[in-house]
Amino acid sequence: MPAFSDRMIAVAQTNCKRGADLNRKYDPEKMISKSRFRDYYAAWESNDKLHLISRMSQLLKENSEYAGNKNYEHMCNLITALAMEQVLEESGKSRREAQETVANAMYDFLKPMVPKMQKLASHGWFVRALKITMPLKFGKTLGHGWEIDFPKCPGDTYSMITRRCIYRDIFSRYGMPEFTAVFCQVDDMMYSALPRAEFLYTQQIGRGGTMCDYTFRKR
């Protein structure tokens, strides 16, 4: 029987603890509370809430490969949105009605944040700050399933190219790749009217493109 060193045992214990912590983190109710849908969820009837939580648990099992620590913020929004869409369809709404209902709930939640983003982008240093902060942020918040490049560009420009997106991947599993566009629209909401930066792109994955080729250029 192989001998295990104290270090090997300690590493195994640490990994088990991390796994347990991650499982606790991926609790449907906690995820809803961290999502853009928490206000909408608060208005749901008790039976519908139970149905939603059950559906989220099922979806998390079916998409466990994405449920790492880095993807947590995305999965809170993605899995909540997908589960809500499915529950609404099962309650009698058409797919289009269900997707629009979920989309509008998210947009209503985000509307108060748009002026804050515009205020932040009113400074001349905004684009330069993006060049530093966004790669660092994405290094911590993009896990399995993402493929993103940061092309070299002039000092007054920041670019990022997303070649693979977990929203598209997961929504496609359930026959609704078009639901990805709901989240693409968030980028348009937040960035299309920035005072000191142009938000430019030629395509988005959620709207039929092969990539999201985003560029912010100082005005």
**pLDDT (tens digit per residue) in 26-74:** 999 999 999 999 999 999 999 999 999 999 999 999 999 999 999 999 9
Residue 156: inside a domain, yes or no? yes
Q: In what order do the strands lie in the sheet with 147-149?
A: 147-149, 157-164, 212-218, 197-200
The domain boundary residue, chosen from 55, 76, 109: 109
CB 48 within 8 A of CB 87: yes
Residue 137: inside a domain, yes or no? yes
Closest by alpha carbon to 132, among 158, 161, 162? Answer: 158
117 and 105 in a common domain: no
Q: How far apart are CA 77 and CA 69, in angstroms?
A: 14
121 and 104 in a common domain: no
User: What average pLDDT does this structure show over 178-195?
Assistant: 97
- Domains identified in the chain, total number: 2
197 and 144 in a common domain: yes
Q: How far apart are CA 148 and CA 168, in angstroms?
A: 14
CB 204 within 8 A of CB 184: yes
Q: Bridge-partner residues for 126, per DSSP? A: none
- Name the residue range of residue 21's domain: 6-109
Report residue 158: phi and psi, to 5°.
Answer: -125, 130
Is the pLDDT at 7 greater than 60? The verdict is no
Model pTM score: 0.88
Is the pLDDT at 20 greater than 80? The verdict is no
CB 84 within 8 A of CB 100: no
Q: Report, in angstroms and rounded to the nearest whole number, the Rg of the chain calculated over CA atoms.
A: 20
User: What average pLDDT does this structure show over 193-214?
Assistant: 97
Kindly report, residue by residue over 129-156, the tens digit of the pLDDT. 999 999 999 999 999 999 999 999 999 9
Residue 1: inside a domain, yes or no? no
Q: What six digits make up the tokens of 50?
A: 């139970």
Residue 105: inside a domain, yes or no? yes
Is the pLDDT at 12 greater than 60? The verdict is no
190 and 170 in a common domain: yes
128 and 95 in a common domain: no
Please give the single-letter amino acid code of residue 124. G
Q: What percent of the chain has pLDDT over 70?
A: 89
